[in-house]
C-alpha cells in the first residue's frame, strides 16, 4: 500500500508546485528579492518534474515498503532476470486483473518517458546553446575588435544598439555593437559592462537554461512561456542590482532607456511581444527602489525552496 500512498503524496506535491508556480507568476514580491525568487522558481520546477514522474512510476509499482527509486531497481527492469520477475510484479500471473496490469504498465512507460523527455530536452537545449556560442566565438575572432571606451569588451561593427555576453568556462566575453558605443556615454557604457559582467560572474545563463529548455520543448504552453519570461526578467533585475553597486542609479537607467528606445532593427513577428513591459518594469524598479524583502522573509523563501526539493526527493527514495 505504501506505493499508493506515495503516489498520492507525490501527485499532491506536483499539483501543489504547479499551483505555487501560478501564484508566483502573479506575486509582486519577487522583484524585491530576485535572488530568493529565482531559487524558489528552480525548486518549483524541479519538484514539479520529479513529483510528476514519481507519481506515475509509483502507481505502476506493486505495494511494498520501500520508495519509488528502490522499488524500480528491485523490479529488475534494469537488471538481468527481469524477464522472470517482471510479469510477476505486474500481476500477470497473479490474481490481479489484466486491466490493472495494463494500467500499471501504461503508468510505468509514461513516467519513464516523461523522465526521459525532460532529460532529453535539457540536453538538447544545452547542445543548441553551446553550438550557438561556439559559432559566436569563431565569428567574433574574425570580426570583433577592442575599443578604449569599453576596456575588456569586444566591439562589432553593427549600427544597431546591442550588448550581450558569452559565458563559458574558459572565456567570458562581453560584446557591444558600434551602435551602442555611439548611443551611450562613458558612464552609461560602464553600467552596461557591469551589468553584463554580473551575468558572467554569477553564470545567470545556467539559471535560465532549464527554463529555456522547457519553453523550447513546449512552445505552445503559455505557462512555460510565462515562467521563462518571469525568470529571465528576474535575472536581468539581479544583474541590474549588481551593476548599481558603487554607481549612481541614473547611469544605468539612462543606459536602459536609451537602449530601449534605440531599437530599429527589423523584428520577426512575435519576438517583441515576448518581453513586452519588461523594460518598463526594470526602469520603474530602478527609479522607485523597492525595499528588499526582510531577512526573515527571504530566509523563509529559501527554506521553503529547500524543503520542497528535499520532501520530493525523500518521497522518491525512502
Partner 1 sequence: MARITGTLTTVNRLGDLERAIMEVLWETDTPLTVREVSVRLTERNLAHTTVMTVLDRLAKKGFAKRQRDGRAWRYCPAATRETYVTELMLTALDQTGDRTAALTRFAQSVSGVEADVLRDALEVIEGNGGGDEESG
Name which of residues 174 to 193 contact partner 1 (CB under 8 A): 175, 177, 182-188, 192
Options 100, 102, 287, 290; binder of partner 1; rule CB under 8 A: 287
For 54, other C-beta atoms within 10 Å of its C-beta total 28
Give percent helix, percent strand, percent coil of the chain, each to the nearest 5. 70, 5, 25
Rounded to whole angstroms, how far apart are CA atoms 195 and 191? Answer: 6
Q: Which of 47, 204, 241, 316 binds partner 1 (CB under 8 A)?
A: 204
By the rule CB under 8 A, 169 interacts with partner 1: no
Q: Does 123 bind partner 1 (CB under 8 A)?
A: no
* Number of residues engaging partner 1 in binding (CB under 8 A): 81
Closer of 9 and 154 to partner 1 (Cβ): 154
Q: In the complex, what is the shortest distance from the CB of residue 255 to partner 1, in angstroms, rounded to a whole number?
A: 8
For the chain, list the strands marked E by DSSP: 154-156, 163-166, 173-177
Q: 48, 12 in Cβ contact below 8 A?
A: no
Could you tell me the smallest distance in angstroms from the CB atom of residue 224 to partner 1?
11
Choosing from 263, 289, 294, 306, the residue that interacts with partner 1 (CB under 8 A) is: 263
Candidates 154, 297, 302, 313: give the one binding partner 1 (CB under 8 A): 154
Check residue 81 and give left, alpha or beta (phi > 0: left; psi -120 to 50: alpha). left
How many Å apart are CA 98 and CA 102, to the nearest integer? Answer: 6
Query: Is residue 232 at the binding interface for partner 1, with CB under 8 A as the rule?
Result: yes
| Cα end-to-end distance, the chain, whole Å | 14
Q: Per CB under 8 A, does 276 bind partner 1?
A: yes
Q: Which of 8, 272, 290, 307 binds partner 1 (CB under 8 A)?
A: 272
Please tell me whether residue 235 binds partner 1 under the rule CB under 8 A. yes
Taking a C-beta distance cutoff of 8 angstroms, is the pair 283, 256 a contact? yes
- C-alpha 202/C-alpha 165 separation (Å) is 12
Residue 166 binding partner 1, by CB under 8 A: yes
Identify the residue among 158, 202, 297, 313 touching partner 1 (CB under 8 A): 158
Minimal distance in Å, beta carbon 129 to partner 1? 5
Q: Tell me which residue of 101, 135, 3, 118 sits closest to 59, measured CA to CA.
A: 3
CA–CA–CA angle 293, 295, 300 (5° rounding): 90
Q: Which stretch binds partner 1 (CB under 8 A): 15-23, 79-87, 92-100, 125-133?
A: 125-133
Amino acid at each position: 500500500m505504501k506505493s499508493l500512498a506515495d503516489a498520492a503524496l507525490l501527485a499532491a506535491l506536483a499539483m501543489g508546485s504547479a499551483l505555487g508556480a501560478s501564484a508566483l507568476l502573479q506575486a509582486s514580491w519577487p522583484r524585491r528579492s530576485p535572488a530568493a525568487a529565482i531559487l524558489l522558481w528552480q525548486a518549483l520546477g524541479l519538484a514539479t518534474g520529479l513529483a510528476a514522474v514519481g507519481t506515475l512510476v509509483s502507481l505502476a509499482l506493486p505495494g511494498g515498503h520501500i520508495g519509488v527509486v528502490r522499488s524500480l531497481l528491485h523490479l529488475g527492469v534494469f537488471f538481468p532476470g527481469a524477464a522472470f520477475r517482471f510479469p510477476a510484479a505486474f500481476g500477470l500471473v497473479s490474481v490481479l486483473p489484466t486491466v490493472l496490469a495494463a494500467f500499471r504498465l501504461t503508468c510505468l512507460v509514461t513516467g519513464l518517458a516523461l523522465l526521459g523527455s525532460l532529460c532529453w530536452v535539457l540536453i538538447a537545449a544545452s547542445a543548441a546553446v553551446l553550438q550557438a556560442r561556439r559559432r559566436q566565438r569563431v565569428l567574433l575572432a574574425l570580426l570583433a575588435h577592442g575599443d578604449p571606451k569599453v576596456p575588456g569588451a569586444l566591439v562589432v561593427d553593427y549600427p544597431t544598439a546591442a550588448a550581450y555576453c558569452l559565458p563559458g568556462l574558459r572565456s567570458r566575453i562581453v560584446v557591444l555593437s558600434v551602435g551602442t558605443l555611439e548611443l551611450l556615454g562613458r558612464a552609461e557604457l560602464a553600467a552596461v559592462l557591469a551589468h553584463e559582467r554580473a551575468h558572467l560572474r554569477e553564470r545567470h545563463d545556467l539559471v535560465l537554461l532549464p527554463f529555456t529548455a522547457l519553453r523550447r520543448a513546449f512552445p505552445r504552453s503559455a505557462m512555460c512561456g510565462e515562467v521563462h519570461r518571469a525568470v529571465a526578467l528576474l535575472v536581468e533585475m539581479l544583474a541590474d542590482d549588481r551593476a548599481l553597486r558603487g554607481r549612481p542609479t541614473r547611469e544605468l537607467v539612462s543606459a536602459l532607456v536609451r537602449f530601449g528606445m534605440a531599437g530599429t532593427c527589423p523584428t520577426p513577428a512575435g519576438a517583441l511581444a515576448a518581453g513586452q513591459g519588461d523594460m518598463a518594469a526594470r526602469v520603474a524598479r530602478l527609479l522607485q527602489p523597492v525595499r528588499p524583502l526582510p531577512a526573515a522573509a527571504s530566509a523563509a523563501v529559501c527554506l521553503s525552496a529547500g524543503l520542497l526539493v528535499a520532501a520530493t526527493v525523500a518521497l522518491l527514495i525512502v
